[in-house]
Amino acid sequence: MRTVFTVIVSALLAAALAPTAALAAAGFTIGLSSGPGRAPEVLPGDSYKQGVVVIAGDQEAEVLIEVLGYRQDIENGVVPIAPSEDAGPHSGREFISPGQTSIHLDAGQTKELQLHISVPQDVGDGGRYALLRFSTRAGGEGAVGVVSAIVLPFRFTIKGSQLVHAGKIAALEIPTPENGKPLSAIIDYENTGNHHYDISGQISIKNLDGALVFASPVTAASPIPGSTSQISAELRPDTILQAGTYSAEVNLMLGDGTLLDKTSTTFRIAAKYVAPPAEPSPVSPVQASPSPSRDAAAGNVTTIVVLAAGAFVLGSLGTLLATKRRRSH
């Protein structure tokens, strides 16, 4: 039996929102419904389902579903790896079976599919990583066709296994600052462990005498094992930096204070530098990745209203109301 979801409110709103037809565009939305989400803790031998809802835009769409491996790199961020090349020890690609390779949607239609997740009994330690790629086929009129693709990483933690959280700083750069703009620290960081984790730490700016001029906290999410990513921190020294040579020292740690790696470099201020005033937001200069949680689904329900015209309106409260169509055979 196939389950078809239809967003009921779209019809009720169609008349009032007719002018939004001018917003015609391609594209679609992927939603996670029932299941533990993208970053579950799983046990060897576990088997479960994860619901995925696909919502079409204002055009009929054939959405292809692929399960791929992935890595992260500095230039390109998340990089998909084709199944034929995905032989890394941390691949979780084979855990995921979408059950179908494509799904057909009429304009504005919503459908749900179930991902079947199976964790091998001999899975080993650490984290396993895979990527879901949803893409439309090119269609419609126009010399320049458009394919829309949404790429969604999945990160599995093998519960009860030995998680190794380790890494090293591959490079640290402090670009020459411009007056009135924040000082930047760019850190290339490689995950040499077997699992992803949150990073905290500190960047200290010192003068040639070794006196501390300014320090700023750093929080970031590690790349997946074997990958390198870039951590960019904005620093806003609360004192004027006179022309001269300074040192920047970075210490990166786990949440429990365990040192991951540290390094330092020097940089030169050619003329007196004044940082912009601190922004009122209390967040730290580098944004952290909050720990994913199974509870997120219960406390963070968001309404997606698909307009008749195909534009998406996203609300922060409410429930997606769906119609389940039973097909007789």
Partner 1 sequence: MKKLAAIATMLAILGLLIIPASALAAGGSSGDTSVGGTISTYYTLIAPAPIDLGTTISSAGEIAKGPFNVTVSTNDAAITTCGITVADKQAGPKGANAGHLMNGSYAMASNLILSGGDKTNTVLNAAAIPLRASSTPLATASITDFRVSQTIGTADLAHAGAYTLTLTFTATFGP
List binders of partner 1 among 162-191 (CB under 8 A): none
Rank residues 149 and 213 by Cβ distance to partner 1 and give the closer one: 149
Q: Which stretch binds partner 1 (CB under 8 A): 36-44, 117-125, 162-170, 208-216?
A: 36-44
Q: Which stretch binds partner 1 (CB under 8 A): 11-19, 116-124, 205-213, 239-247?
A: 11-19
Q: Helix, strand or coil for residue 233?
A: strand
Q: Please, which of residues 303-322 interact with partner 1 by CB under 8 A?
A: 303-305, 307, 311-322
∠ CA 264-268-272, rounded to 5°: 130
- Is residue 33 within the footprint of partner 1 (CB under 8 A)? yes
Q: What letter represents residue 41's amino acid?
A: E
Residue 204 CB partners (closer than 8 Å, separation 6+): 212, 214, 215, 248, 249, 250, 251
Interatomic CA distance for residues 12 and 314, integer angstroms: 16
Residue from 211, 271, 290, 329 touching partner 1 (CB under 8 A): that is: 290
Rank residues 264 and 284 by Cβ distance to partner 1 and give the closer one: 284
Binding mask 62-81 for partner 1 (x = CB under 8 A): ----------x---xxx---
Q: How far is the CB of 294 from partner 1 (least distance, A)?
A: 10
- Is residue 23 within the footprint of partner 1 (CB under 8 A)? yes
Residue from 40, 42, 46, 59 touching partner 1 (CB under 8 A): that is: 59
CB 8 within 8 A of CB 322: yes
CB 129 within 8 A of CB 92: yes
Rank residues 101 and 316 by Cβ distance to partner 1 and give the closer one: 316
User: Six-digit token pair at 230?
Assistant: 């870039």
Residue (of 74, 113, 118) closest to 96 by Cα position: 118
